[in-house]
A and B are shown apart, each in its own frame.
Chain A
Amino acid sequence: MTPLIRRFVRSPAGIGGLAMLLALAAAVVVTPLISPYDPYALDFGNALMPPDAAHWFGTDNFGRDIFTRIVAGAVYDLRLATTCVFGPMILGILIGLCAGYYGGWVDDALMRITDIVWAFPFYVLVLTIVGVLGPGEGNLYIAFFMVNWIGYARIVRGETQIIRRLEYVQALTILRFGPARTMLRHILPNAVTPAVVYSMSDLVLTVQAVAALSFFGLGVQPPAPEWGLLIVESVDYMRDAPWMTIFPGLAIAWVGVAFALLGEGLATAMKPKG
């Protein structure tokens, strides 16, 4: 692990992305302790104030401080996005390992399923699943678990098919190591790199998708200060109070850039030598 961390630390992109995420995490921890504002309390006397020294990002139509609300909303967006990426990622990796290792009908069946699911545009499928199940965080997870594992299964299957033919894996078979041990301890570490790098770009798009679903009333429900909800609540005031719209979107973009840079750093760090 140590050379990996050393290489990661040396990539400016990776460090930049990590710093951006840590800055957000620090804001999430520190803001409730020192902010004079409550993300939910109404204060009509201060409604629609433009950004200034007292309210860094201005206030909304109920007089709530937008900076405090965005920071409070980070917990929702990050929890949703990471669960919707890493949960299906684990599922997809396991399925990809099995398909690549066993081959035959297991592999055929899997590839048919992925072909079919890949034909549906991502937003069409996720919007339809959540729309049919009804709005809410739990249904959001169901939708993403149904859709998001496919990419990982395809990537890991391809890697596993290559590794399975290598001599060291055949040696393990001769040594009568069980398939589970061979797959998880000996194939997985060598097959997982591209999946990890892919998960970072997946996070960039999933943060957006989670916010887009709340935007259409299908995800997290009000009064949570989730970023997509902040944007949908701002639309009626957009002309007079553009800061209500601009800053939550910039928060999503902040997280997106952070994960994209982190992905770049991981790709450099995990690239095999030569």
Chain B
Amino acid sequence: MLVPVLFGITILSFLLLQVMPGDPVEHAMGTRASAEELAAMRRLWGLDLPLWQQYLIFLRDCLTGSFGVSLFYKLPVSRLVMERLPITLALALYSTLIGLAIALPFAVVAALRRGRLADVLIRQLFVLLIAMPPFWLCFVLILEGSLRLGLFPTGGVGTGFLQNLHRLFLPALVVGLSTASLIQQSLRATLIETMKADYVDTARAKGLSPAQVFGRHILRNSLISTISVIGVRVSWIIGGTVVVEKIFAVPGLGSLLIDAIQSRDFPVIRGLTVCFAVLVVLVNLLTDIAYSLADPRARMK
């Protein structure tokens, strides 16, 4: 199951770049290059070969882990990716934690007061959150948090864990807010579902206090299902980091992708689309494993 998808990812990434109008060689060399120079460059990049050979070369580059060589940086794409991957992963994890921290209290209140005013208000609050465009939210937060209050820098990364926790807060918050509304919705639904379960009645009948029943039985079991929600949405979370990274000048994979698109650095674009998709597939796999470890019922299957 995994291997055909990975192959498909390389094929799709390869084909995407084939539809690029114009000659990437001419674009890179400028108008002053002679026909011989262009032909030499084309040979060097392997663009004179038939399509299937070009694909096999690309596939070899993917399998050996180099993903081709950047036209702009003159470095293997894999090196660029490895430099930036930790930053994007950290941002994605940070934003997920922020999203969870925001969603959890609201989901609990909404589930406990379902159908009442608090539930309705919370639902509208999250509708408003998801309706605000993230790239605009970045600027509003820069305007308020950086320019007016001076609490956060306007962008970039620092050194050390604590400094980055501070510097990446605004970008992580933007991604986290959109994640929060997804988590809140599903967690609320799961909490309400779980409250009706028989084992909750059993726990109550054993004489546990309402707080113990909620914390130990209802909340804990509902949170497990949130793992799989995050897994399904991982592609959304990682996609969200792309735009935010560019605006906050965070040197991660997303800003690399947008820079590569703007400079038409096709090996980087191609390599990065493969890396993004593989990242999503791997994180999905990891959340599946985490879910089965946390939920004994899934382990039985």
Please list the residues of chain A having a beta carbon within 8 angstroms of any beta carbon in chain B: 112-113, 115-125, 127-129, 131-134, 204, 207-208, 211-212, 215-218, 228, 231, 235, 238-239, 242, 245-246, 248-249, 252-257, 260-261, 264
List B261-301 residues whose CB lies under 8 Å from chain A: 261-262, 266, 269, 272-273, 276-278, 280-281
A-B contact pairs, 16 of them (CB 8 A): A119-B235, A119-B280, A124-B242, A124-B276, A127-B242, A128-B16, A132-B16, A132-B266, A208-B134, A212-B243, A231-B136, A245-B136, A249-B133, A253-B133, A261-B127, A264-B127
Cα separation A116 to B277 with both chains bound (whole Å): 8
**Cβ-based interface call for B140 (8 A):** yes
**Cβ-based interface call for B199 (8 A):** no
**Cβ-based interface call for B111 (8 A):** no
Contact, CB under 8 Å: B143 / A128: no
Interface of B is mostly: helix
Contact, CB under 8 Å: A212 / B135: yes
The answer to whether A121 and B258 touch (CB under 8 A), given A129-B16, A133-B19, is no
**Cβ-based interface call for B240 (8 A):** yes
Residues of B within 8 A of A264 (CB): 127
Contact, CB under 8 Å: B131 / A257: yes
Task: Report, nearest first, the 8 A-B pairs whose CB atoms are least far apart.
Answer: A256-B131, A121-B239, A131-B261, A249-B136, A116-B8, A123-B239, A208-B133, A119-B277
Q: B9, B236, B242, B269: which contacts A119 (Cβ < 8 A)?
A: B9
**Cβ-based interface call for B151 (8 A):** no
Interface residue tally for chain B (C-beta within 8 Å): 46
Contact, CB under 8 Å: A124 / B273: yes
Which residue of chain B has its CB nearest to the CB of A118? B235
Nearest Cβ distance between residue B126 and chain A, in whole angstroms?
9
Contact, CB under 8 Å: B277 / A120: yes
Q: In the complex, how many residue pairs between chain A and chain B have their CB atoms under 8 Å apart?
A: 140
Residues of B within 8 A of A119 (CB): 5, 9, 235, 277-278, 280-281
List B1-32 residues whose CB lies under 8 Å from chain A: 4-5, 8-9, 12, 16-17, 19-21
Cα separation A207 to B131 with both chains bound (whole Å): 9
Cα separation A112 to B16 with both chains bound (whole Å): 17
**Cβ-based interface call for B139 (8 A):** yes
Residues of B within 8 A of A238 (CB): 139, 142-143, 147
Contact, CB under 8 Å: B242 / A115: no
**Cβ-based interface call for B246 (8 A):** yes
Cα separation A16 to B268 with both chains bound (whole Å): 46
Nearest Cβ distance between residue A159 and chain B, in whole angstroms?
19
The answer to whether A246 and B140 touch (CB under 8 A), given A119-B281, A121-B236, A121-B238, is yes
Contact, CB under 8 Å: B276 / A120: yes
Of the listed residues A125, A207, A238, A239, the one surrounded by the most CB atoms of chain B closer than 10 A to its CB is A125
Contact, CB under 8 Å: B132 / A124: no
The answer to whether A116 and B9 touch (CB under 8 A), given A121-B239, A128-B16, is yes
Contact, CB under 8 Å: A235 / B139: yes
Cα separation A133 to B242 with both chains bound (whole Å): 19
Contact, CB under 8 Å: A128 / B127: no
The answer to whether A112 and B8 touch (CB under 8 A), given A119-B280, A131-B269, is yes
Nearest Cβ distance between residue B9 and chain A, in whole angstroms?
6
**Cβ-based interface call for B128 (8 A):** yes
Residues of A within 8 A of B136 (CB): 211, 231, 245, 248-249, 252
Contact, CB under 8 Å: A127 / B133: no
The answer to whether A257 and B127 touch (CB under 8 A), given A231-B135, A249-B140, is yes
Contact, CB under 8 Å: B242 / A204: no
Contact, CB under 8 Å: B16 / A260: no
The answer to whether A260 and B139 touch (CB under 8 A), given A117-B12, A127-B261, A128-B273, is no
Q: A125, A132, A254: which contacts B19 (Cβ < 8 A)?
A: A132
List B111-135 residues whose CB lies under 8 Å from chain A: 127-128, 130-135
